[in-house]
Amino acid sequence: MSMNYAFGFSLILLILVALNIYFFYTLNTVGKRGPVYLYEPDLKPNVYREIYEYLNYLPDQYKSRNIKFIPIQKQLIQTFNSSSPHNTKDVWQYADNWISEESLFPQYNGTLGKILYNMRTAKISRVEIAPKGSQLKLSLILEGKYKMYFKPKRYELTHIVTGDIYGGYDRHNSEVFAYYLAMVMNFKWIAPCVIRKLHVANDVVPVATKELRLTMIKNGTSRCIYGKCRYCHFSKTVCPDKNGEIEGATILLLNKKFQTHVSPWRRSYNSKKMSWETENNFCVKVMNTLNLKRILNLVDVSLFDFLIQNGDRHHYEVYKDRIMLFDNGKGLGNPTVDELDILAPLYQCCVMTYSTWRHLEMLSGGILTETIKILSSFQGFKLATEDHYKAVERRLLKIYATVQYCIGKHGSAKVFKIS
């Protein structure tokens, strides 16, 4: 009995000592890194765990409004506010003659606002079926021979697309939202894009090509359109609203030659895993095939795509050795989902252009989405729900956390590159 009593007493003492150590440790680690998550983490790959750790302890500067962006915001407002009268021909000529290594279109003197205004109001001289793509698109030829792609509205803004990140129809509002996002992020290699409404009976039918008219179905006094594309079918028409109009994104078609490349981080679109999803050192392989400038450009694109959750960039187009931000219609699908694997180029390669990082730091504290709302207001269309705007701000914090993860792993000197 005495031996059993001694053993039991010793066990109790050990438990008491362990509890004292636990409580002492707990009291002395208040405010330090711990296991309490402020954001629910995705615990699949180990890298996600580490990114969420950095997310939970981001410095306050990444959650506060950065006043350094205010002068840039004012410049953007000036270039997108097209309230002053202008000569349409002069604007198109100025845009045509623009040659720059810094931007695809002129960024100053209100030119972008005037271009968007012209795209939204210019008379249409011909409408035809766009020659490429998996979904219905129209080509609008304006007076003066300028051409635009028209992606029709398929969903209401409040519609949530579930399932695969690349699922569903293209969202016309995502194309336009992406354009303003690119401008705010200082990514200047994107075609101007704006929402426009087409009156089917007045704007389309009188100038439609024969090929397009053959894909129209009568709908009362107006007509629905199903077009011609990989997945186009007469059971999947786009019909005018009660005013006889179809809303859509109009994207200025660029009369330039682009080189098309397959993205190293493309998806398989089936259950097959791609190399970037299974290989720990995938970026080493990429660095053996692409130069650093191209990789830095792909990282920039991944930041852009992550903010809108565009997981469908299987190919990319290059002009003047810069990746063009085309085909952004798969964004803004589900505001409750943040697919971190869109950031794979960043967290696998852990490199970023220093100028991109400094600009990103200025977009903290809500000023990113605030600026998008201001710029888009000049055209008079709402681009997204408040849930989507909040999601963009939430994802920006995750980008900050991913960069902090890379800095913690490799150091700032190896992460940030001067281009």
> Does the pLDDT value for residue 16 go beyond 70?
no
pLDDT for the residue 87 = 73
pLDDT for the residue 399 = 98
Q: What is the average pLDDT across 63-80?
A: 95
> Does the pLDDT value for residue 20 go beyond 70?
no
**Of 312, 327, 338, 341, which residue is the catalytic one?**
312
Q: Of 250, 256, 222, 262, which Cα lies nearest the Cα of 238?
A: 222
pLDDT: which is higher, 326 or 220: 326
Q: What is the average pLDDT across 185-210?
A: 96
Question: Is the separation of the CB atoms in 339 and 208 below 8 Å?
Answer: no
Q: What is the average pLDDT across 236-255?
A: 94
**Residue range 163-176, pLDDT digits in tens:** 999 999 999 999 99
pLDDT band at 200 (very low <50, low <70, confident <90, very high): very high
Residue 201, number of CB atoms within 10 A of its CB: 14
pLDDT for the residue 21 = 43
Domain boundaries, the chain: 46-417
pLDDT for the residue 53 = 96
pLDDT for the residue 23 = 40
pLDDT for the residue 51 = 97
Q: What is the average pLDDT across 337-355?
A: 97
Q: What is the average pLDDT across 2-16?
A: 51
Q: How many angstroms separate the CA atoms of 406 and 400, rounded?
A: 10
Q: What is the average pLDDT across 178-195?
A: 96
Across the chain, mean pLDDT equals 88
**Residue range 353-375, pLDDT digits in tens:** 999 999 999 999 999 999 999 99
pTM for the full predicted model: 0.88
> Does the pLDDT value for residue 255 go beyond 70?
yes
Bridge-based pairing state of the strands 147-152 and 216-219: unpaired
pLDDT for the residue 10 = 55
Distant-in-sequence, close-in-space partners of 309: CB < 8 Å, separation ≥ 6:
165, 331, 332, 333, 334, 337, 338, 339, 342, 391, 395
**Residue range 37-62, pLDDT digits in tens:** 444 444 456 899 999 999 999 999 99
> Does the pLDDT value for residue 17 go beyond 60?
no
**Residue range 98-130, pLDDT digits in tens:** 778 888 888 777 889 999 999 999 999 999 999
Q: What is the average pLDDT across 72-76?
A: 95
> Does the pLDDT value for residue 215 go beyond 70?
yes
- Torsion region of 269: left, alpha or beta (phi above 0 gives left; psi -120 to 50 gives alpha): left
Task: Give the chain as a 3 state SS string.
Answer: CHHHHHHHHHHHHHHHHHHHHHHHHHHHCCCCCCCCCCCCCCCCCHHHHHHHHHHHCCCHHHCCCCHHHHHHHHHHHHHHCCCCCCCHHHHHHHHHCCCCCCCCCCCCCCHHHHHHHHHHHCCEEEEEECCCCCCCCEEEEECCCCEEEEEECCCCCCCCCCCCCCCCCCCHHHHHHHHHHHHHCCCCCCCCEEEEEEEHHHHHHHHECHHHHCCEEEECCEEEECCCCCCCCCCCCECCCCCCEEEEEEEECCCCCCEEEECCCCCCCCCCCCHHHHCCCHHHHHHCCCCHHHHHHHHHHHHHHHHHCCCCCCEEEEECCEEECCCCCCCCCCCCCCCHHHHHHHHHHCCEEHHHHHHHHCCCCCHHHHHHHHHHHCCCCCCCCHHHHHHHHHHHHHHHHHHHHHHHHHCHHHHEECC
- Burial, 318: exposed, middle or buried (Cβ in 10 Å; 0-12, 13-18, 19+)? middle
The token pair that represents 62 in the structure block:
């990444």
pLDDT band at 84 (very low <50, low <70, confident <90, very high): low
Q: Of 165, 62, 173, 158, which Cα lies nearest the Cα of 386?
A: 158
Residues forming beta bridges with residue 195, ordered by sequence position: 249
Q: What is the average pLDDT across 275-300?
A: 95
Q: How many angstroms separate the CA atoms of 194 and 196, rounded?
A: 6
Question: Is the separation of the CB atoms in 272 and 397 below 8 Å?
Answer: no
pLDDT band at 145 (very low <50, low <70, confident <90, very high): confident
> Does the pLDDT value for residue 316 go beyond 60?
yes
pLDDT for the residue 19 = 46
- Burial, 41: exposed, middle or buried (Cβ in 10 Å; 0-12, 13-18, 19+)? middle
pLDDT band at 220 (very low <50, low <70, confident <90, very high): confident
Q: What is the average pLDDT across 264-287?
A: 93
pLDDT for the residue 210 = 96
Q: How many angstroms separate the CA atoms of 259 and 261, rounded?
A: 7
312: annotated active-site residue: yes
> Does the pLDDT value for residue 31 go beyond 50?
no
Q: Phi/psi of residue 378, each to 5°? A: -65, -25
**Residue range 373-408, pLDDT digits in tens:** 999 999 889 999 999 999 999 999 999 999 999 999
pLDDT for the residue 85 = 59
